[in-house]
């Protein structure tokens, strides 16, 4: 009996000692987010709906900007230092089709990295409000 | 044979890959098709526009559905076309077999046919991307082609137009991390059993507002599990009309096909009690 109590106490300690993991950690931390963004860029490069929009864009800058942004919205502790989503995308009249294409490419990137459904949903939930700031701005 | 098969498969896959970049809304956002031809669930429409066209694209669907309960057998088939995620135009043709009712009434004719022509306009919002729900306004014109039994039951018209407002939203991660779909509809109608038993009646001939709702949870992008409720009027003294319920599972393997199976409970239909059974529907999107 006493061993059981001891074991239970140990288990409870173990629980309280584990910090509730952030979305950033669920995405696989720095390495995971890097890989997702890499796959996303590969998908964008293959997608005729959006590829023309990235002609002449500094892809390395885009990559680090996006990694930073995802890190900041997923509680990874990074501070995104770029311009707001509205300012970055303003003046381009990005379409609803293009927005869906980017989201689709992100989902495929996360699928490819075996990100679980609920983790995917959680990131998409944090990016969905950007629609207002990106489409037809 | 195997070569033909693999070539056909390749052609299908290529066609699908091509089609996927022409119709950009995300998987399942075109929903399935109600027995009345509107994009939505099995019996309750949603605010979404049929097909997968985004705001700069077009798309469409074709469907066939069957509802089988002890004394009735309904087959509905049709299609819908969606324009720029703004406007939906739909057509459905329904054939209801009612052998038990015919025997009871001593008539030989066992079929009622009805056609439904619908339009739906998206007024505001996006089911995924806005904080508020997507809201649409729809109109269905219905024409009952076999009015003999409906008129004997006390129905006053063989055709009518009804209106509905639908509000739908997917809450990303809204149900313990899974995506949650909530949908509510207010319908202004006087259709008896959705019009299969005509429109208006001896007890009431005015249109009234009725409530409908559906809810579902996406287990992942491909599987949606949920339930629907549809309130019904009571226009005929010949028989009381019960509200409808379904519990469904829908499968979206890709943007080309969707399959829905459901348990349906229609309650008492035209004096025949306990009409619960199954529903099966296949939808193709293009
Ligand atoms: C959820 C949707 C989106 C998010 C979260 C997002 C996020 C970002 C971020 C973080 C940057 C980097 C900004 C920087 O630090 O320099 C960026 C740049 C960019 N985005 Fe988006 N974006 C989205 C949708 C789109 C869409 C739909 C398009 C159009 C196809 C698009 C095209 C671009 C382009 C071309 C750049 C590079 C701008 C430049 O450096 O000149 N984005 N985006």
Mean pLDDT over B116-139 rounds to 98
What's chain A look like in SS3? CHHHHHHHHHHHHHHHHCCCCCHHHHCCHHHHHHHHHHHHHHHHHCCCCCHHHHCCCCHHHHHHHHHHHHHHHCCCCCCCCCCCHHHHHCCCCECHHHHHHHHHHHHHHHHHCCCCHHHHHHHHHHHHHHHHHHECC
pLDDT bracket for residue B32 (50, 70, 90): very high
Inter-chain touch B21–A48, beta carbons under 8 Å: yes
B55 and A CB contact within 8 Å? yes
Give the pLDDT score at B22: 75
Terminal C-alpha separation, chain A: 67
In this structure, what DSSP letter does residue B49 have?
Answer: P
The predicted structure's pLDDT at residue B21: 58
Q: How far apart are CA A12 and CA A15, in angstroms?
A: 5
**% of chain B exceeding 90 in pLDDT:** 90
Decide if pLDDT at B27 tops 50. yes
**Predicted pLDDT of residue A6:** 52
Distance from C-alpha of A17 to C-alpha of B95, rounded to nearest angstrom: 64
Task: Kindly tell me if the per-residue pLDDT of A38 is higher than 80.
Answer: yes
- pLDDT(B50) > 60: yes
Round to whole Å and give the CA distance between B266 and B70.
Answer: 11
**A54 close to ligand 1 (CB < 6 Angstrom):** yes
Q: What local confidence, expressed as pLDDT, does residue A21 receive?
A: 87
Question: Percent of chain A beyond pLDDT 90?
Answer: 83
Q: Which residues of chain B have a CB within 8 Å of the CB of A124? A: 172-173
> Tell me, what's the pLDDT at B105?
87
Distance (Å) from CA A134 to ligand 1 centroid: 8
Specify the pLDDT at position B205.
97
* A11 pLDDT above the threshold of 60: no
Whether B236 shows a pLDDT value over 50: the answer reads yes
Percent of chain A whose pLDDT exceeds 70: 85
For position B274, what pLDDT does the model report? 96
User: What is the SS3 assignment for B243?
Assistant: coil
Q: Which residues contact B220 (CB under 8 A, 6 or more apart)?
A: A117
CA–CA dist A74, A42 (Å, integer): 22
Flag whether pLDDT at A9 surpasses 90: no
Which domains are seen in chain A, by residue range?
24-134 (1.10.490.10)
Residue B1: the pLDDT is: 46
Give A3's Cβ-side CA count (13 Å radius). Answer: 0
Q: Tell me which residue in B25, B178, B220 faces A100 most closely, judged by beta carbons.
A: B25
What does the pLDDT average to over A31-60?
Answer: 97
- Do residue A125 and residue B85 have CB atoms under 8 angstroms apart? no
Beta pairing class for B32-33 and B39-40: antiparallel
Q: Are B124 and B132 in contact (CB under 8 A)?
A: yes
Q: Specify whether the CB–CB gap between B276 and B246 falls below 8 A.
A: no
Say yes or no for a CB contact (<8 Å) between B178 and A118: yes
Residue A118, pLDDT score: 98
Written as six digits, the tokens of B67 are: 């509802």
* Residues recorded for chain A: 137
For residue A110, is pLDDT > 50? yes
Confidence band of B2 (pLDDT split at 50, 70, 90): low
In chain B, the domains with their CATH numbers are: 2-285 (2.40.160.40)
* pLDDT tens column, B85-123: 999 999 999 999 999 999 998 888 899 999 999 999 999
| pLDDT for the residue numbered A90 | 96
Query: pLDDT tens across B152-200, in order?
Result: 999 999 999 999 999 999 999 999 999 999 999 999 999 999 999 999 9
Scanning chain B, the segments in alpha helix (DSSP H) are: 2-22, 99-105, 148-152
Nearest to B138 by CA among B90, B94, B92, B178: B90
Give the model confidence (pLDDT) of A59-78 as tens digits. Answer: 999 999 999 999 999 999 99
Mutate to test the pocket of ligand 1, among A50, A62, A84, A137 (most ligand atoms within 8 A of CB): A62
* B126 to chain A, closest Cα gap in Å: 10
> What does pTM read for this prediction?
0.90
For the CA atoms of chain A, what is the radius of gyration? 19
Phi/psi at B102 (5° precision): -60, -45
Cα B150 versus chain centre, distance: 22
Interface with chain B: mutation pick from A97, A110, A118, highest number of B CBs within 10 Å: A97
Note the pLDDT of residue B247.
98
CA of B249 to the centre of ligand 1 (A): 36
Q: Taking all residues of chain A, what is their mean pLDDT, rounded to a whole number?
A: 90
Average pLDDT, chain B: 94
């Amino acid at each position: 009996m006493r061993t059981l109590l001891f074991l239970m106490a140990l288990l409870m300690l173990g629980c309280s000692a584990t910090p509730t993991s952030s979305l950033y950690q669920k995405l696989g931390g720095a390495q995971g987010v890097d890989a997702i963004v890499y796959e996303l860029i590969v998908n964008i490069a293959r997608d005729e709906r959006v590829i023309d929009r990235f002609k002449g864009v500094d892809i390395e800058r885009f990559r680090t900007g996006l990694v930073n942004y995802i890190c900041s919205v997923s509680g990874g502790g990074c501070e995104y230092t770029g311009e707001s989503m509205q300012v970055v995308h303003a003046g381009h009249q990005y379409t609803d089709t293009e927005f869906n294409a980017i989201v689709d490419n992100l989902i495929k990137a996360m699928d490819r990295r075996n990100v679980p459904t609920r983790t995917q949903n959680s990131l998409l939930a944090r990016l969905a409000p950007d629609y207002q700031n990106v489409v037809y701005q | 044979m195997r070569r033909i098969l693999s070539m056909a498969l390749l052609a299908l896959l290529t066609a699908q890959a091509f089609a996927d970049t022409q119709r950009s809304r995300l998987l399942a956002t075109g929903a399935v098709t109600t027995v009345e031809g509107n994009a939505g669930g099995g019996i309750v429409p949603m605010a979404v526009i049929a097909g997968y066209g985004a705001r700069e694209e077009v798309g469409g669907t074709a469907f066939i559905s069957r509802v089988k309960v002890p004394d009735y057998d309904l087959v509905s088939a049709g299609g819908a076309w969606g324009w720029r995620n703004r406007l939906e135009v739909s057509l459905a043709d329904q054939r209801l077999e009612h052998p038990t009712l015919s025997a009871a009434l001593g008539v030989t004719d066992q079929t009622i046919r009805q056609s439904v022509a619908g339009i739906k306009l998206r007024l505001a919002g996006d089911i995924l991307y806005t904080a508020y729900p997507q809201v649409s306004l729809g109109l269905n014109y219905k024409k009952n082609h076999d009015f003999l039994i409906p008129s004997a039951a006390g129905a006053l018209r063989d055709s009518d137009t009804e209106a509905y407002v639908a509000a739908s939203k997917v809450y990303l991660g809204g149900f313990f991390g899974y995506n949650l779909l909530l949908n509510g509809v207010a319908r202004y109608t006087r259709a008896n059993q959705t019009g299969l038993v005509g429109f208006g009646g001896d007890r009431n001939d005015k249109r009234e507002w009725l409530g409908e709702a559906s809810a579902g949870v996406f287990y992942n992008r491909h599987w949606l599990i949920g339930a629907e409720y549809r309130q019904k009027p009571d226009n005929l003294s010949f028989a009381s009309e019960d509200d409808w319920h379904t519990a469904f599972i829908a499968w979206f393997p890709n943007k080309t096909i969707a399959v829905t199976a459901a348990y349906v409970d229609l309650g008492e239909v035209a004096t025949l009690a306990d009409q619960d059974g199954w529903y099966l529907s296949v939808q193709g999107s293009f």
